[in-house]
Each structure stands twice: as C-alpha cells, then as structure tokens.
C-alpha cells in the first residue's frame, strides 16, 4: 500500500495531538492509578505510554540510520520524562516528514 506524504504528515500531526491529550489525561491520575498493574504486557498506564514512546523513538532512529537505543529503560516509565521527551521525538518525526 502506498501512502502519500500528505497522509503521513496528517497522521504524524494527529499522533502529536493525541499524544498530548494522553499525557494530559495521565497527569490527572493518582500515582497509584498511573502505576497500577493490570496484568498486561506493559503492566500499567505509564508502562503502556512508555512502550509507545519507545517505539516512536526506536523507529525514528532507524529511519535516520542511527543505532536504536535500548527499547525501554526504567527511566522511560516516568511521566515527567515522557512529557519532556516524547514531544521532541514527535517533532523529529514531523521534521522528517516535512522533508
């Protein structure tokens, strides 16, 4: 399936918007709710967010020809880090797609 550059840019813009909403919603959760183990692969809300962040980070590194970082670190499971670093990763994606 061929995806146009405009469609990709639209998707990346939507992803940045939706990620910001997810982080805003997560910030309203208590620490107990944020880290509650649901028995899933990523265990918790913050674990699921960290997994998605790490995937965004690894794939942009691969596209840019850089060696990928470790997929997820313990530090990635931190809402403050996600709020600081994830928008940077998404801006990198948007910059790549703009070219």
22-78 tens-digit pLDDT:
999 999 999 999 999 999 888 999 999 999 999 999 999 999 999 877 899 989 999
Long-range interactions of 30-35: CB distance < 8 A, separation 24+: 34/79
Alpha-carbon dihedral 15, 71, 51, 92, rounded to 10 degrees: -20
What residues does each domain of the chain span?
Answer: 19-90
pTM of the model: 0.90
Q: How confident is the model at residue 19 (pLDDT cuts 50, 70, 90)?
A: very high
- Per the CATH hierarchy, to which homologous superfamily does domain 19-90 belong? dinb family like domain (1.20.120.450)
Does the pLDDT value for residue 99 go beyond 90? no
Q: Closest Cα to residue 29, out of 44, 51, 14, 50?
A: 44
Please give the pLDDT value at position 1. 82
């Amino acid at each position: 399936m061929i995806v146009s550059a405009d469609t990709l840019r639209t998707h990346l813009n939507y992803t940045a918007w939706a990620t910001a909403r997810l982080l805003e919603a997560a910030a309203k959760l208590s620490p107990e709710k944020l880290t509650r183990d649901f028995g899933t692969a990523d265990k918790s809300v913050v674990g699921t967010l960290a997994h998605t962040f790490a995937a965004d980070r690894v794939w942009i590194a691969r596209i840019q020809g850089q060696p990928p970082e470790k997929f997820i670190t313990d530090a990635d499971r931190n809402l403050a880090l996600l709020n600081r670093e994830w928008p940077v990763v998404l801006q990198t994606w948007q910059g790549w797609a703009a070219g």
